[in-house]
Structure 1
C-alpha cells in the first residue's frame, strides 16, 4: 500500500534530481515499489538504456511539453497518455523542449 496523504499543495516540494536529466517530485510511494510522481525532463534529455521493460504497471500522462519515442519515431504531447503492463517494451526517448509528466507505478 502507498502512504496515506490527504490533499496537499504538490508544488510546495522541491524538485529532486532523479538522474539523467530528470527531476522528480514524489507524491506518494509504498514499500513494495508503488509510486506516484511528477517527472520533469530537461530540454535535450535522451534515455540511453535502449528499449525499456519493467516488472510493474506504469501509467504516464504528459502534462506539458513533448516526448519522442525513438523506436516508434512518434512524438507525444501534453494530454497524451500511456498504460504499460509489466514487460511491455517502450522507448528509448528524447525530448527537444523538455516535458513534465504524471507517472504512476504499481
Structure 2
C-alpha cells in the first residue's frame, strides 16, 4: 500500500487534530497517509507558547522534509531559532527538538520510508 491518490483539493477541508503527545497547542492536518508505513504529508501547527519538551528529542525511522510556511520555532537542544522560508531534510535517526514557539509556527512536512521500502 502507499499514500492514496488525490487530485487538488482545499487543504482547509482537512481539520486540525491534536498531535501524538496530547498537547492541544500542537496540531496537525494530515493531508495524506500510508496506512501500512504510517508516513504522512501534513501541515504542523504550533500555537503561540507551544513547547514539545514533554516528548523530548525526536528520532524517526523515516525521512522527513520540513518547510516553515509562517512564524518560527526554536530547537531547544541546538538553541537555534528557525523561521518562515527555511527548510530541513532529516534522514532516519537524525535527532531534532524538542521545540518551543513563542509566536506560533506553521510547517509543511513530507515523510517517507527509509529507502522507499514497505514495512
TM range (shorter): over 0.9
Q: What is the RMSD of the two structures over their aligned residues, measured on CA atoms?
A: 1.1
Query: 2: distance between equivalents of 1:85 and 1:67?
Result: 20
Instruction: Tell me: CA distance 1:50–1:13, structure 2 relative to 1, closer, same or farther (3 Å).
Output: closer
Deviations along 1:4-60, one digit per CA (max 9) or x if unpaired, are 100111112222222322111111111211200111111111112222111111111
Q: SS at the partner of 1:57? A: strand
TM-score normalised by the chain length of structure 2: 0.84
Query: 2: distance between equivalents of 1:39 and 1:102?
Result: 6
- Per the alignment, residue 37 of structure 1 pairs with 42
Would you say the 8 A contact 2:14–2:31 is kept in 1?
no
- Per the alignment, residue 88 of structure 2 pairs with 82
How many residues are treated as equivalent by the alignment?
106
Query: How far off its partner does 1:71 sit?
Result: 1.3
Gaps of 5+ in 2: 113-119
TM-score normalised by the chain length of structure 1: 0.93
Gaps of 5+ in 1: none
Would you say the 8 A contact 1:33–1:105 is kept in 2?
no
> Which has more helix, going by share of residues?
2
Moved over 6 A (4+): none
